Structure 1
Amino acid sequence: MGCAAAKSEKQLSKQNSPVGLKKMSISNVSLMQETDKIETDFIFHALDPLVTRRNYIKKAVSKSNNATRIVKIFNCLNLGSTEKLELERIVNHLLQIKHLNLIRILSYYYNDNKLFLVSEFSEGGNLLSRLDHFSQLQQYNMIDVFCQIMAGVQYLHNQGIAHGNIQLESIVFKEKNMENVKLLDYGIPNSFKQICLQWKPNGSIQEISFKSPEALRQSGLTSAKSDIWSCGCLLYFFLTSHMPFQSRDVQTLKTAILRGIVNYEGSEWSHINPDMKLLISKMLSSNPQARPTAAEIINHPIFVNRARILTKPNKQLSKNMKDFKQQSQMQNAMLNYIAENMLQEQDKKKLMEEFQKFDLNKDGLLTKEELLKVYITMYSSEQANQEVETIFSKVDQNHSGRIDYQEFVLATIDQKKYFNREKLLMLFQQIDRDHSGQLSKLEVKKLLRDMQIPKEKLDQLSQQLDQDGDGQITQEEFLQIMLSIA
């Protein structure tokens, strides 16, 4: 950072705050605590310029398991204490964001007034860099990509977060086959980016093409309705291969967007469903309040049930889901950690494929209705209803009425394969960074932090692991305690 001047705390708290993000009492939050240096656990590598030219974004490889991550580095030197509290609140919220179509923030490091956010790495690249390959996809594949994007947007809006920067660069593919799509760069207000990252919009035609009229009138504005406009531009682009507003000149492009007159006269529109045209017209309405919500878009009749059940669900995974038992917070956190860091690629792919068999509207969440439509192809109506009710009573841990991908993985993962002595031993060796054969208090604290255990539970669980209170946990003690939790 260096030359960026800090804004007043009052101004920062108002400008670009995530839409509806729940406020937390400042008195209940502590200033960010110093952690180990990120270099203790990761080795930084150069990023391909096609991925990003932003110098605050780095590629990092884990020293313990060779996992590749993306790290975003925030210089917090010019933040006041209240601003740091606000940033910590936002980061704590982002750590809880878990959706199939959103790049996940996995952990953080904080030292020397620098915050390092560690997130998933997507080897498929962003949509802008893969545009030539993307243009060769069938239109139904493009529609599937769009619906995955909308699923991520819907989840963010339900969490009270407006993305604010939906464009081709913020859409990435998890793998090179371009099937699993994720959104990145969400949740951190532009005001913090400007101070901590020296970030500013690049002002390119590609970026401006996705800006809503209200975002152009009020620079830096983020809102859920503005996100819908950007998604409307995406859908138009996917169907026609060009943007709804075009110009080689930035100012002329801005003028066209502010006028808001969309051209539907091209020959390609004669082959596009009129209902699709009507939906895009609503998404690109100059009146933000006239635009549909993300939920209304993803549940629009033109998209609902577009997927077919091509093969029956895996019966063993379905049995695991039905037999799933609520475990201790410690075991659930450990299973989450193992699934994130140690799950074999073929098992990850299998779980993803199974989830998608149930997720008929591709919104990244499973409802009772969706499970029932699948199970009724396997069982009688009465038995299908019983199966679905049993599964939801066990798997829907937060009682939201939906099963998210994280809950699905926890319920279907082969616990005998991954929560056993061999895997826990491998895990111990990863955590034991100094190879002393014992875990120190700092190593245990880091493990629990990486497992995203809430602060109020850290001391309790640390004591649970260090039962004799000597501040050291041997390999055998760790295995005995963890296996007893199972």
Structure 2
Amino acid sequence: MGCGAAKPLKNQSKQGSPCSQPKETRHSSVYLMQETEKIEADYIFHALDPIITRRNYIKKAVSKSNNATRIVKIFNCLNLGSEDKYELESVVNHLLRMKHLNLITTLSYYYNDNKLLLVSEFCEGGNLLSRLDHFSSLQQYNMIDVFCQIMAGVLYLHNQGIAHGNIQLESIVFKEKSMENVKLLDFGIPNSVKSKCLQWRPNGGIQEISFKSPEALRTSGLATAKSDIWSCGCLLYFFLTSHMPFQARDVQTLKTAIQRGIVNFEGSEWSHISPEMKQLVSKMLSSNPQARPTAAEVINNPIFVNRGRILTKPNKQLSKNMKDFKQQSQMQNAMLNYIAENMLQEQDKKKLMEEFQKFDLNKDGLLTKDELLKVYTTMYTSEQANQEVDAIFSKIDQNGSGKIDYQEFVLATIDQKKYFNREKLLLLFQQIDRDHSGQLSKLEVKKLLRDMQVPKEKLDQLSKQLDQDGDGQITQEEFLQIMLSIA
């Protein structure tokens, strides 16, 4: 599934088109559309609460191997032409590689009988629309924290060359029932593809229209970065005042009000809101898209910067793990990623999340050197802090971005002695060995590597690394020896 780096997002780009490749490049890779096993071999479907969604192409599924709850989105590809399939392949390839604290993670896929099934994480906290009663009782600083998490997800999408295009209450979900950690969903798949294989169309209701920008209403919902900023401006206005900036009893009147673009800042609630916050909301809801700030400018606005505070000092053992981290083989990194997604205990997940947030001072879901320095200078002298941070970044920043994302952080801080050992690998083998034969078949190895999100060009190499004698079968002991010997 080849997909090059995301292009800079253009104002009139297709929604969720992360890759713009020459036709011959796209046609050279059809990996995604090769048949896989059926999802029923690994998951049991359950009824999904109608409060969560009424869309019949979204299902809830529970893993047979580890009881993990997932969400499955089912695409009927029967009516897709080859160009649409290549576009869908490119998009899904990108979604599988996108990792951010504030975006729903796509974990794996299945393809058979002209149906593509995308498996993603399940958030038990529900969406914002279904939790409005509880949300409205939160303190306003909690609401602002939710807003900044949303903006962090939007910033990441825009940096990947993707406009969300459908930011509204239903597309914001809470990871837990405590409503502290927020994620965006429903991004990345172009509307043109969704309409062909999901029986999808905008519902056109007042709740959805309320978040549409004037230009999106004029261009049938074409997604742009600036339209996302407008939608986020509507959210911020709503969080501050408990009502939307534009209101009406019917859709047509609402559309007219939005296209006029006159925002009311005269209500009594605004007398308690700082002029700086009012100015930011006003810019985000400017009728001129070019006058709106970027996602980076919003999240780095002085009114939000340094809103985080270090409640306790970072865990010294995790800090030591970061400093001592060493680059592993691609296979071991892929396996650790798989273990982190599928086997990490909830208490360990929570601990890693809390530690990451201690460093993430501006809450954008990424760690910079400056953020680490601010934390480490509370623990060391200035010179020692600089040495520690330089050492950490030289080892952890695998993609050379100058920032550490959550996936890189987890790889560097996970307790490898606890999770990458004979006992855990044996448990993992038993999960993979679906027919309980005591051996992994070629199909099972292929699925493991696919779920580990190994790049297509590395599949053959890593398959051979696992199946060293080439007999197409890997025994339990061979698997343990191979994995434990990887360095």
Q: TM-score, normalised by structure 2?
A: 0.96
Alignment of 1:130-169 (within 5 A): 130-169=131-170
- Structure 1 counterpart of 2:90: 89
Provide the rounded CA distance (Å) in 1 between the counterparts of 2:260 and 2:332: 56
Report the CA distance between 1:310 and its aligned residue: 1.3
Report the CA distance between 1:104 and its aligned residue: 0.4
Q: Kindly, what percent of the aligned residue pairs are identical?
A: 86
CA offsets per residue over residues 236-289 of structure 1, 9 Å max, x none?
000000000001111110000000000000011011010110001110000111
Provide the rounded CA distance (Å) in 2 between the counterparts of 1:21 and 1:456: 18
Alignment of 1:83-482 (within 5 A): 83-482=84-483
Report the CA distance between 1:44 and its aligned residue: 0.4
Letter in 2 for 1:27: H
Provide the rounded CA distance (Å) in 2 between the counterparts of 1:213 and 1:379: 52
The question of whether the paired residues in 1 share the 8 Å contact of 2:16 and 2:91 is answered with no
The question of whether the paired residues in 2 share the 8 Å contact of 1:36 and 1:109 is answered with yes
- Structure 1 counterpart of 2:21: 23
Provide the rounded CA distance (Å) in 1 between the counterparts of 2:127 and 2:55: 14
- Structure 2 counterpart of 1:61: 62
Report the CA distance between 1:307 and its aligned residue: 1.0
CA offsets per residue over residues 181-206 of structure 1, 9 Å max, x none?
00000000111110001101111111
The question of whether the paired residues in 1 share the 8 Å contact of 2:15 and 2:164 is answered with no
The question of whether the paired residues in 1 share the 8 Å contact of 2:213 and 2:230 is answered with yes
CA offsets per residue over residues 1-55 of structure 1, 9 Å max, x none?
xxxxxxxxxxxxx983436644362233225110000111000001000000000
Letter in 1 for 2:235: L
Provide the rounded CA distance (Å) in 2 between the counterparts of 1:169 and 1:20: 23
The question of whether the paired residues in 1 share the 8 Å contact of 2:13 and 2:224 is answered with no
The question of whether the paired residues in 2 share the 8 Å contact of 1:101 and 1:181 is answered with yes
Question: SS of the residue aligned with 2:120?
Answer: strand
Letter in 1 for 2:336: L
Letter in 2 for 1:308: R
Letter in 2 for 1:82: E
Report the CA distance between 1:383 and its aligned residue: 0.1
The question of whether the paired residues in 1 share the 8 Å contact of 2:16 and 2:187 is answered with no
- Structure 2 counterpart of 1:5: none
Report the CA distance between 1:301 and its aligned residue: 0.4
- Structure 1 counterpart of 2:8: none
Provide the rounded CA distance (Å) in 2 between the counterparts of 1:485 and 1:79: 42
The question of whether the paired residues in 2 share the 8 Å contact of 1:34 and 1:110 is answered with yes
Question: SS of the residue aligned with 2:61?
Answer: strand
Provide the rounded CA distance (Å) in 1 between the counterparts of 2:284 and 2:21: 29
Provide the rounded CA distance (Å) in 2 between the counterparts of 1:71 and 1:191: 20
- Structure 1 counterpart of 2:7: none
- Structure 2 counterpart of 1:34: 35
Unaligned runs of 5+ in 2: 1-11
Change (3 A) 1:252 1:120: same
CA offsets per residue over residues 328-383 of structure 1, 9 Å max, x none?
00000000000000000000000000000000000000000000000000000000
Provide the rounded CA distance (Å) in 2 between the counterparts of 1:211 and 1:220: 8
Question: SS of the residue aligned with 2:75?
Answer: strand
The question of whether the paired residues in 2 share the 8 Å contact of 1:190 and 1:220 is answered with no
Report the CA distance between 1:103 and its aligned residue: 0.2
Letter in 2 for 1:204: G
Question: SS of the residue aligned with 1:117?
Answer: strand
Provide the rounded CA distance (Å) in 2 between the counterparts of 1:345 and 1:72: 25
Question: SS of the residue aligned with 2:73?
Answer: strand
Alignment length (residue pairs): 473
Question: SS of the residue aligned with 2:252?
Answer: helix
Change (3 A) 1:357 1:463: same
- Structure 2 counterpart of 1:70: 71
Letter in 2 for 1:356: Q
Provide the rounded CA distance (Å) in 1 between the counterparts of 2:356 and 2:257: 42
Q: TM-score, normalised by structure 1?
A: 0.96
Question: SS of the residue aligned with 1:320?
Answer: helix
The question of whether the paired residues in 2 share the 8 Å contact of 1:19 and 1:224 is answered with no
- Structure 2 counterpart of 1:9: none
Unaligned runs of 5+ in 1: 1-13
The question of whether the paired residues in 1 share the 8 Å contact of 2:17 and 2:91 is answered with no
Letter in 2 for 1:438: Q
Report the CA distance between 1:430 and its aligned residue: 0.2
Question: SS of the residue aligned with 2:364?
Answer: coil
Question: SS of the residue aligned with 1:238?
Answer: helix
Provide the rounded CA distance (Å) in 2 between the counterparts of 1:36 and 1:305: 49
Change (3 A) 1:115 1:261: same
Letter in 2 for 1:366: L
Provide the rounded CA distance (Å) in 1 between the counterparts of 2:70 and 2:458: 27
The question of whether the paired residues in 1 share the 8 Å contact of 2:233 and 2:284 is answered with yes
Question: SS of the residue aligned with 1:106?
Answer: strand
Provide the rounded CA distance (Å) in 1 between the counterparts of 2:159 and 2:407: 17
Letter in 2 for 1:453: V
The question of whether the paired residues in 1 share the 8 Å contact of 2:128 and 2:170 is answered with yes
Report the CA distance between 1:82 and its aligned residue: 1.9
Letter in 2 for 1:327: Q
